[in-house]
Amino acid sequence: MLLPTQPAAWQGKENRQSAPPERQDSFRTSNDRATLSDIATLAGLSTSTVSRVVNGSRCTSPTARARVQQAVAELGYMPNVLARQLRSSRTKTLALVLIDIANPFFTGIARGVEDAARAQGYTVMFCNTDESVDEEMGYLRGLIQRRVDGVLLVPAVNSRGSLELLQQHGVPVVVLDRRLGSGQVDQVRADSEGGAYLAVRHLIELGHRRIAILAGPESLSTSVDRVDGYKRALAEASIGARSQQILFGEYTEGSGYEMTSRILAAPSRPTAIFAGNNSIALGALQALRDSGIHYADDMSIVVFDDLPQGGSLPFLTAVSQPAYEIGKLAAYMLIERLATEEPLEPRVIVLPSSLIVRRSSAPPRLTSSAGPRSAKAIAGPARTHRDPNGLHPSPGLLANLRPCPTGSTLTKASPVAGTGSLKLP
Amino acid sequence: MLLPTQPAAWQGKENRQSAPPERQDSFRTSNDRATLSDIATLAGLSTSTVSRVVNGSRCTSPTARARVQQAVAELGYMPNVLARQLRSSRTKTLALVLIDIANPFFTGIARGVEDAARAQGYTVMFCNTDESVDEEMGYLRGLIQRRVDGVLLVPAVNSRGSLELLQQHGVPVVVLDRRLGSGQVDQVRADSEGGAYLAVRHLIELGHRRIAILAGPESLSTSVDRVDGYKRALAEASIGARSQQILFGEYTEGSGYEMTSRILAAPSRPTAIFAGNNSIALGALQALRDSGIHYADDMSIVVFDDLPQGGSLPFLTAVSQPAYEIGKLAAYMLIERLATEEPLEPRVIVLPSSLIVRRSSAPPRLTSSAGPRSAKAIAGPARTHRDPNGLHPSPGLLANLRPCPTGSTLTKASPVAGTGSLKLP
DNA sequence: CTGTTAGCGCATTCAA
DNA sequence: TTGAATGCGCTAACAG
């Protein structure tokens, strides 16, 4: 996950066996590692030449190449990346600083970042902040000291000085997932507003009128945007503002549990819950269980963020974000910026989210409102995708745990903004 | 998760605001980062002195210290870790190379490693091999080139040259979780044999006679050891070898699914399954579902490796390994070895596993064998822990998803071997 | 195509 | 207590 194989040209399988194992070269004590000049003397060449063939620079004769390779193999030479980096003042290293890599959404981002980076010969370091600004700052400082070439940042909740610190030290940044700062930074994220709109409209189309949204921290752009989408969907359906039920909390299981409990205790209980992210959903599900409330039947639930469909929760209707693409795109943007000389305008890319309908959302059981809307409305411009596994009838215990194929076709939730001319592989 | 805050002495909050923001020092172009000599000239001192105060070496006058700190703050100086490492030929960096950090067991190890390392001022790099020896080798090479001080290795399935490569380059190693090599390495792992024995004995005590074990690769020590524990428990209960049902596969969900399907299709179906690890268990559960077989009622299932009890699978009876401790101990061993000069004997530490009984294991429904053994046997020397949440009656759908407290008390499954005199905090 | 010469930024001798 | 000098291992001008 962290260090890609060094793509150096000389890196054929080291045929160490070609050298007599007991050989103890006079200029190499047992544990001292061979250096460039070691192999230079062994090969009877200068360090520059050796350096050239090791780095695959052209301008080397076949004979020189052969002798160097021979010496490299013989001594088991491994270039000292530190020295190389110090000299060239480029580390070919990126950092991804994020909230919680255990969260599937961020894991997806991380994969995208690593794949893109590795494809360009970059190594990436992953740093978990656990939503702590102090951790974030600490990591950032460490990364600057390590002279990473650039940083991909998913800022923690009240992150403030981070961008300034980075820019102060001339470290290029791309901000992921969450809006940050005055806009003078490259950014990549999914469309929170549009995704939330889709989700809530879906619930409305099922006949729900009292829908609660369990959002994250009010100070986070994703929370605000998702609430905006929620509001838009309600407004569009002429559902009065007094029917709104908006709770701000944290993006944690505990907070989801707590918010759900509050909702269930309140007088006018909603018929559907829109969870602001996957952790909140997990907590919400637990709260429902503990109250003996069945999802779908008694309470519809839709999640922002899809969950891994492997073994446990394959029944949740969810807004899916293109996590992998976010990471990949962000890495490419960053690397591109590293390649050029400063003249790029800050770019903001918003990728479409989409809705995957499964079994956790159903028409409300006993509602005073009208039933589901016309089929036309459902089949209309709603950019949703109905998961075949969501359609299995009579969801018994076992059926509930049935796996669901991952290859869900995603549909656009909103237009892409400002994609610019990023060159992808 | 990756880069701990640098614990450098000089690292007070940078009071950059104390310097006039528009100040453009003549010796610093905008983006060039300040160096030691920059702050030396600014402070009117030599680089040596500056280096000393920055590194907290004693032998510095208060006045010098003050002036340096002032200059550091003014210039926003960040030491160049690369140069520092190159010079001192110590990176203060460890690497944890493992199979799959998404697996909760390894995540636990990773946390232990990081905490221990950070406590000692070390940074740790995480590398995922996905059970690929090529990836493993690639990472190892990269790490050697980066001159990490030491490596913590969870070797991939048929890992072979890794140890040699590392030792060839004089990089200290500790092998985690899986036995490897001729034994001339430090190793830390949990007691697989003992844990498996406990699990299977538990099933036998419940009355099971036909128990299948779904093991990992036959070439892996953990698989072999767990099968050994399985055999011992059966033998102890005088259950004939012909009743054994041993399947070797992979530590993956897919393999678990496949092995379970095979078992279900076979003539004499077992009444209980012992899954060799958590991934296999996940696959087994899916296979059971797809065959309409209820766990516990129709088929008991016990897992090696506990799963995160957060939201999804709080009902599995499991063998719990002290993952965090494994990581922590391993890191301490490694760091200790780095501190001393080579004279340490290789040490092997085997930590006890324990059994946590929950609801997925129950007496067989219709068995020709005798019922459960006497209460005495159950309450006897079995070092198991009964999870209170495992006792809830009538596991309906919702109850099945009920959360379970994480604070399970672990009980020893086997004695600790060769702990030696490791100094822990 | 190759060798010589200079540092990258820092820690660390050795003198003062 | 401080400063001057040296080199960690490597790349990048330059000349040849």
Q: What is the DSSP string of A375-402?
A: HHHHHSS--EEE-GGGG-SS--HHHHT-
What is residue A315's DSSP assignment? Answer: T
A79 touches strand D (CB under 7 A): yes
For the stretch A226-270, pLDDT in tens is 999 999 999 999 998 888 999 999 999 999 999 999 999 988 899
Handedness of CA A78, A81, A84, A90 (dihedral sign): positive
Nearest protein residue by Cα to C1' of nucleotide D13: A48
- A8-34 burial: b if 16+ Cβ within 10 Å, else e: bebbeebeeeebeeeeeeeebeeeebb
Is residue A91 classed exposed, middle or buried when 0-12, 13-18 and 19+ CB atoms within 10 A define those classes?
A: buried
B24 to chain A, any CB pair closer than 8 A? The answer is no
pLDDT at A36: 94
Residue A85, CB, less than 7 Å from strand C? no
Q: Are B95 and B148 in contact (CB under 8 A)?
A: yes
CB of A64 lies under 7 Å from some atom of strand C: yes
Per-residue pLDDT, B73: 95
Q: Say which nucleotide is closest to residue A52, CA to C1' distance.
A: D11
Those residues with Cβ within 8 angstroms of residue B421's Cβ, 6 or more apart along the chain or in another chain: none
pLDDT given at position A366:
64
Q: Is A275 helix (H, G, I), strand (E, B) or coil?
A: strand
Residue A22 to residue A40: CA distance in whole angstroms: 21
Q: Tell me, yes or no, if A54 comes closer than 8 A to chain B by beta carbon.
A: no
Kindly report the backbone phi and psi dihedral angles of residue B171, in degrees, each rounded to the nearest multiple of 5, phi listed first. -95, 120
Q: What is the dihedral of CA A154, A157, A160, A164, to 10 degrees?
A: 0
More reliable by pLDDT, A191 or B102 = A191
- Residues 58-117 in B having a C-beta less than 7 A from any atom of strand C are 79-80, 83-84, 86-88
Rg, Å, chain A Cα set: 27
Task: Name the token pair of B387.
Answer: 């999870």
Taking the CA of residue B40 and the C1' sugar atom of nucleotide D1, their distance in angstroms comes to 16
> Cα-atom radius of gyration of chain B, to the nearest Å?
27
A36 is near strand D: CB distance < 7 Å: yes
Could you give the CA distance from residue A241 to residue A233 in angstroms, rounded to a whole number?
Answer: 11
Nearest residue to B368 via CA among B261, B271, B244: B271
Put simply, whether B296 touches A (Cβ < 8 Å) is: no
In angstroms, rounded to a whole number, what is the distance separating the alpha carbons of residues A397 and B294?
9
CB-to-strand D under 7 Å, chain B 269-308 = none
What does the pLDDT read at residue A340? 83
Q: Is B21 exposed, middle or buried (0-12, 13-18, 19+ CB in 10 A)?
A: exposed
**Could you list the pLDDT tens digit for every one of the 425 residues in chain B?**
555 544 433 433 333 333 333 333 333 334 678 999 999 999 999 999 999 999 988 788 999 999 999 999 999 999 999 999 999 999 999 999 999 988 889 999 999 999 999 999 999 999 999 999 999 999 999 999 999 999 999 999 999 899 999 999 999 999 999 998 777 899 999 999 999 999 999 999 999 999 999 999 999 999 999 999 999 999 999 998 888 999 999 999 999 999 999 999 988 899 999 999 999 998 998 899 889 998 889 999 999 988 765 545 668 899 999 999 999 999 999 999 998 876 778 999 999 999 999 989 999 986 444 444 433 333 223 345 555 443 332 222 222 222 222 222 223 223 233 333 344 44
Distance from CA of B21 to the nearest CA of A (A): 11
d(CA B109, CA B96): 9
Residue A4 has pLDDT above 60, yes or no: no
| DSSP states of B296-364 | TTTBEEEEES---TTTT-TT-EEEEP-HHHHHHHHHHHHHHHHHS-S-PPP-EEEEPPEEEE-TT----
* Distance, CA of B99 to chain centre: 10
Residue B412 neighbours by CB under 8 Å, 6+ apart: B352, B354, B383
Amino acid identity, position B217: P
pLDDT for B25:
34
Q: Which domains does chain B have, with CATH numbers?
A: 8-79 (1.10.260.40), 192-324+351-419 (3.40.50.2300)
Q: What's the rounded Cα separation, in Å, for the pair B326 and A198? A: 46
The number of beta carbons lying within 10 Å of the beta carbon of residue A183 is 10
pTM of this prediction? 0.83
